Amino acid sequence: MIADMKFFLDTANVKEIAQAHEMGVLDGVTTNPTLLSKEGRDPVQVLKEICAIVDGPVNAEVISTDCEGMLREARRWAELDEKIVVKIPMTREGMKAVRKLSEEDIPTNVTLVFSPTQALIAAKAGADYVSPFVGRLDDRSEDGMDLVSKIIQIFDNYGFETEVIVASIRHPMHVVEAALMGADIATMPYAVFEKLFEHPLTDLGLQQFLADWGKLKR
């Protein structure tokens, strides 16, 4: 059994990361070029700020498409902070880079994973993490969580230590299903993270408790 299910925030927004960190249950952060671009600031500065807040892994992605370029970028990202995990896309060039980076002890997360064979290849190449994108599969009427279940079974069959990051999460049920399957990590937008805390019966119950306490003659 895995000791803990880790919650990552899938954002490059420092304010959201600081708020989630305060809750005491944030284990890491994933970013990608789209998320960093949304912030409209120097990505290196943003990543530095994120690393200063978060205790766990902070994922930064390469944008090169050739192995040499990816290696150059990965080494630069890794120099930024020891928390950095380098996201590498699931391509042939990407897998060559993952193999080299694993020999250099630079942690990698293989991203844009949409099939069990892609996850298996990433694990064989030496990836520390794989990121199946469940929401993007669901958007195409394919079953994202079924992919996660298959990847977990394959990794268990062979004792791969590669951790499964359930990515492209759209709602809390993705998190629940990921936990039921024993996925290592769920990375989610801040809006989904917030929803994990909420239930209307909690609010109503608390309201009632406080109202009843107020009626007590003290």
Active site residues: 87
> Which CB, 10 or 100, lies closer to ligand G3P?
10
Q: Record the tokens describing residue 67, joined without a space.
A: 């192995």
> Which CB, 43 or 100, lies closer to ligand G3P?
43
From the list 117, 63, 66, 114, the residue with the least C-alpha distance to 86 is: 63
* Neighbour-count burial of 193, counting CB atoms closer than 10 A to its CB (0-12 exposed, 13-18 middle, 19+ buried): buried
> Which CB, 149 or 187, lies closer to ligand G3P?
187
Distance CA 45, CA 41 (A): 8
Q: How far is the CB of 73 from ligand G3P (least distance, A)?
A: 17
Q: How far is the CB of 179 from ligand G3P (least distance, A)?
A: 17
Q: How far is the CB of 69 from ligand G3P (least distance, A)?
A: 20
In the complex, the residues that contact ligand G3P under the rule CB under 6 A are: 10, 30, 32, 133, 135-136, 167-168, 187
Q: How far is the CB of 134 from ligand G3P (least distance, A)?
A: 9
Residue 215 has φ and ψ, to the nearest 5°, of -80, -15
Q: How far is the CB of 89 from ligand G3P (least distance, A)?
A: 11
> Which CB, 87 or 150, lies closer to ligand G3P?
87
From the list 5, 56, 68, the residue with the least C-alpha distance to 27 is: 56
> Which CB, 135 or 172, lies closer to ligand G3P?
135
Q: Record the tokens describing residue 116, joined without a space.
A: 């069990």
C-alpha distances in angstroms, 213 versus 95, 200, 206, 210?
61, 20, 11, 5
102 three-class SS: helix
Residue 122 has φ and ψ, to the nearest 5°, of -60, -45
Which H or E element spans position 98? helix 92-103
Distance CA 144, CA 167 (A): 10
